Amino acid sequence: VEFLYCDLASMKSIRQFVQRFRAKNCPLHVLVNNAGVMLVPERKTEDGFEEHFGLNYLGHFLLTNLLLGTLEQSGTHSHNARIITVSSATHYVGKLHLNDLQSRCSYSPHGAYAQSKLALVLFTYRLQHLLTANGSHVTANVVDPGVVNTELYKHVFWVVKVVKWMTAWLFFKTPEEGASTSIYAAVSPEMEGAGGCYLYNEERTKSAGIAYDEELQRKLWTESCKMVGISDESSRVP
């Protein structure tokens, strides 16, 4: 195991990380996009993005796009490289505000978090569409880990913290249990060649209906490219 530092809330840090990784000339068979914050007070990343959207979504969007070339070189017909992105059941209640992705008009921690998780699902489906269109030996899937007992809940109200402390053993998954579906997506032979799936408890299931809106997927992708400063190669793909 080797550690390379990468701050997903910093576009500069992401680019530096990718440069360091590429310099190693290593293949890349699995990328798991798992960083995130939840229900943080209104604040911005160093690039000026609302933190939920900037870290949870845009950071992973840029990282994945910068590593796509390496992933495509690493995948083969019999062993596809795999991209696994961790979303949340919260995406079912999320709304994507294309005209206000930074939640400047009206900030809600719950709304901003749900939007970032919906964006990850839309991104995954669009990414798989592009990978398929290009004949790439790479698959992209999105995972719902369930309700997991981690430090992600440190910004919830104190009453919720008390309830969580009292009931976590009964209703919450352990971190190991929460990781199981991501691991399944990353290494299971059953998922070889399968992309564009929403997985929960190691099974394929339906995501929110709005996530299948291909026009919304395209618009979000195009806007995301502008925000992180990369060219939109997808414009040539229907």
Q: Within 10 Å of residue 168's Cβ, how many Cβ atoms?
A: 15
Tokens, residue 175: 């971190």
For the chain, report the end-to-end CA distance as a whole number of angstroms.
40
DSSP state, 53?
Answer: I
Q: Which residues are catalytic?
A: 113
Q: In whole angstroms, what is the distance from residue 171 CA to residue 169 CA?
A: 6
The answer to whether 83 touches 194, Cβ cutoff 8 Å, is no
Q: In whole angstroms, what is the distance from residue 163 CA to residue 153 CA?
A: 12
The answer to whether 6 touches 54, Cβ cutoff 8 Å, is no
Please state whether 25 falls in left (phi above 0), alpha (psi between -120 and 50) or beta.
left
CB proximity list for 202: less than 8 A, separation 6 or greater: 180, 181, 184, 188
Q: Is 92 helix (H, G, I), strand (E, B) or coil?
A: helix
The answer to whether 199 touches 184, Cβ cutoff 8 Å, is yes
Q: Give the residue among 15, 58, 10, 36 at the shortest CA–CA distance from 226.
A: 58
